[in-house]
Amino acid sequence: MNEQDKLLKARDRFIDSMAKNMSLYGITHSVGRLYGLLYFSEKPMTLDEMKDELGMSKTSMSTAVRQLQELNMVEKVWKKGERKDLYQAADDWYESFSALFTTSWRTGISLNISTINKSLKELHALLENPETSDEVKASAELDIEKYQYALDYYDWLNRFVDSLESKEIFNHIPKKE
Amino acid sequence: MNEQDKLLKARDRFIDSMAKNMSLYGITHSVGRLYGLLYFSEKPMTLDEMKDELGMSKTSMSTAVRQLQELNMVEKVWKKGERKDLYQAADDWYESFSALFTTSWRTGISLNISTINKSLKELHALLENPETSDEVKASAELDIEKYQYALDYYDWLNRFVDSLESKEIFNHIPKKE
DNA sequence: TAATTTGTACAGTTAAAACTTTACGAACAA
DNA sequence: TTGTTCGTAAAGTTTTAACTGTACAAATTA
């Protein structure tokens, strides 16, 4: 094995490890590998270069790159005289980390909160209804407590995401030791 | 629809919403629903009760419950005179949140770090090898920088997880407003 | 204008995950 | 002991996600 190959092999080993890790965040192994390829690439790449490098279809590269763009992990680059689209890896991993959780969590949290509020409203109506049996009322009281607990938790989660989004988290956990 | 049904419908709506949300953390919708069922249950449940309630197989309940146990979201309960295993939802969501990320991330981070170190070692050997061409050396220098960046990032991530695990995060982002 | 090239939508295929059924060992009961 | 019951392993099935190949619109070139 020549020296160049050693370097490429070292890259591949790390890219694979990184891609495995990313699957924890809901990023496919293939998409992770593409990110790794772009991360080490010295210049922006075209879809055709990616597909040749990874041995996959061009369509897959197209969708994978779009996914990574949506996560702010890859950006499109413009180069004069180049017809093909060029892409490069976003170099700020802390930024990507924040963006990943911010975008994917916000929606879910708000959705949960409004669902809870809807349910809480119904339960309160139920409590005020004279026809409701004491037994059901007792259950409703218990449920209300649980909804309230969940509501507090989602509020905390929202503030947690705030802290990521505003980069305040880096005051508490600084980037460099 | 009677009052009891209204209460159950409100529960189901929230459980479904919560389960959808959990899929962001790699928890299946079905497993999420099971957690929701246990969360609202006034007493610990058996596998048979779960399967009746969710209309799924007992085997699925068994594996789902084990998954939730591994994530510290569900715990086994002992009751004298009861042959069947009893399970209840862990009530501390903040604890579950910490545990979820702590357990799933730690392994990945360490794995990545050791992969990087292995690759870095090889690249340094490559740089010290007189037979290595200047071109390859230049690439190696660039790669080393990228590995170093990744290493710093994983170190940060580790400290981030530390902060979750030690509950220090709650000093910065308090549970109640 | 027509002929290429590029990215992606769409339909079809393959691979992976979720779930069920069957079967069986371990614990308990009779 | 034998007969039940319970939880789960293993194999099989169904569902879902990932990926490919074809086709086509938009942009570019000749």
Q: Mean pLDDT over residues A39-65, rounded?
A: 97
Q: Tell me which residue has tokens 């009861």.
A: B82
* Contacts for B10 with CB less than 8 Å, ≥ 6 apart: A118, A119, A122, A123, A143
Chain B partners within 8 Å of A133 (Cβ):
3-4
B86-105: pLDDT as tens digits: 999 999 999 999 999 898 89
Could you tell me which residue, B160 or B104, shows the higher pLDDT?
B160
pLDDT the model gives residue A177: 59
pLDDT the model gives residue A30: 98
* Contacts for B126 with CB less than 8 Å, ≥ 6 apart: A3, A6, A7, B132, B136, B137, B140
**Alpha carbons B167 and B177: distance in angstroms, whole number:** 17
Burial profile A56-65: b = 16 or more Cβ within 10 angstroms, e = fewer: eeeebbeebb
CB contact under 8 A, B150 and A108: no
In this prediction, residue A80 has a pLDDT band, given cuts at 50, 70 and 90, of confident
Q: Is the pLDDT of residue A8 over 90?
A: yes
* Contacts for A158 with CB less than 8 Å, ≥ 6 apart: A106, A109
* Contacts for B144 with CB less than 8 Å, ≥ 6 apart: B120, B123, B124
Name the average pLDDT for chain B: 96
| ipTM summary value | 0.91
Q: How far is A49 from chain B (nearest CA, A)?
A: 19
Residue type, A85: D
pLDDT the model gives residue A9: 96
CA of B101 to C1' of D8 (A): 27
Name the average pLDDT for chain A: 96
pLDDT the model gives residue A103: 87
Percent of chain A with pLDDT over 90: 92
Q: Is the pLDDT of residue A81 over 80?
A: yes
In this prediction, residue B176 has a pLDDT band, given cuts at 50, 70 and 90, of confident
Architecture field, domain A3-90: Orthogonal Bundle (1.10)
CA B130, chain centre distance (Å) = 47
* Contacts for A23 with CB less than 8 Å, ≥ 6 apart: A29, A32
Do A10 and A43 form a contact (C-beta atoms < 8 A)?
no
pLDDT the model gives residue B177: 59
Residue A71 CB coordination number (10 Å): 19
Q: How far is A66 from chain B (nearest CA, A)?
A: 19
CA of B123 to C1' of C17 (A): 39
Q: Which residue is nearest to nucleotide D29 (CA to C1')?
A: A83
In this prediction, residue A147 has a pLDDT band, given cuts at 50, 70 and 90, of very high
Nucleotide nearest to A66 (CA to C1'): C8
Q: Mean pLDDT over residues B111-131, rounded?
A: 97
In this prediction, residue A1 has a pLDDT band, given cuts at 50, 70 and 90, of confident
Q: How far is B58 from chain A (nearest CA, A)?
A: 27
- Give the lowest-confidence range in A110-119, A140-149, B78-87: B78-87
Q: Mean pLDDT over residues A58-71, rounded?
A: 97
Q: Mean pLDDT over residues A162-177, rounded?
A: 93
CA A36, chain centre distance (Å) = 16
Size of interface A-B (CB pairs under 8 A): 144
Strand D–CB B27 distance below 7 A:
no
Count, in order, helices (H) and strands (E) of chain A. Answer: 7, 2
**Alpha carbons A44 and B96: distance in angstroms, whole number:** 41
Burial class (CB in 10 A: 0-12, 13-18, 19+), A18: buried
pLDDT the model gives residue B103: 87
Residues (39-68, chain A) with CB within 7 Å of strand D atoms:
55-57, 59-60, 63-64
pLDDT the model gives residue B52: 97
* Annotated domain spans of chain B: 3-90, 94-172
**Alpha carbons A177 and B53: distance in angstroms, whole number:** 51
Nucleotide nearest to A59 (CA to C1'): C8
